[in-house]
Amino acid sequence: MADSDASLKFYRDILGLKVVGESENHGPEQERLNNVFGARLRITTLRATAGPAIGFLEYLTPRDGRPYPVDHRANDLVHWQTRLLTGDSTAASQDLRAGKAAFVSPGAIAMLDGRLGFGKGFLVRDPDGHIMQLVER
């Protein structure tokens, strides 16, 4: 995560997740855990009303990590997407467009046969380029 504040605007302010924890971790245990000498991290945890939490790991030091590849595609090994359930994907799509989010999908797409377990959804990138799949049942 390059900037926790930018990610908070996306996840908290636009998507409505709640911050449930914040800490700054450093020391030999953190260095061994991350296998990064001198690791000092700002950790922020957010949660929706149900389901697992989302954690941000912002490296305060060292700051030499590589950014997420901007040209990655769904069939690349580095690809990962996180699914969030929303009550209204059209409204979520509009809120994200107003917030200048980068869309992968052209907007909320109707899934006519329901085989994927949801009726409508879309893909959008968070500020670091991670793919978020927002769906409604």
Structural domain span for residue 21: 4-61
Q: How confident is the model at residue 1 (pLDDT cuts 50, 70, 90)?
A: low
69 located within any domain: no
Q: The domain spanning residue 108 has which CATH number? A: 3.30.720.110
68 located within any domain: no
| Residues 16-53 pLDDT 10s | 999 999 999 999 998 999 899 999 999 999 998 888 89
51 located within any domain: yes
Number of folded domains that form the chain: 2
% helix, strand, coil for the chain, step of 5: 20, 35, 45
3-state secondary structure of 47: strand
74 located within any domain: no
Are 54 and 17 members of one domain? yes
Are 12 and 54 members of one domain? yes
| Residues 119-132 pLDDT 10s | 888 999 998 888 89
The answer to whether 44 touches 72, Cβ cutoff 8 Å, is: no
103 located within any domain: yes
73 located within any domain: no
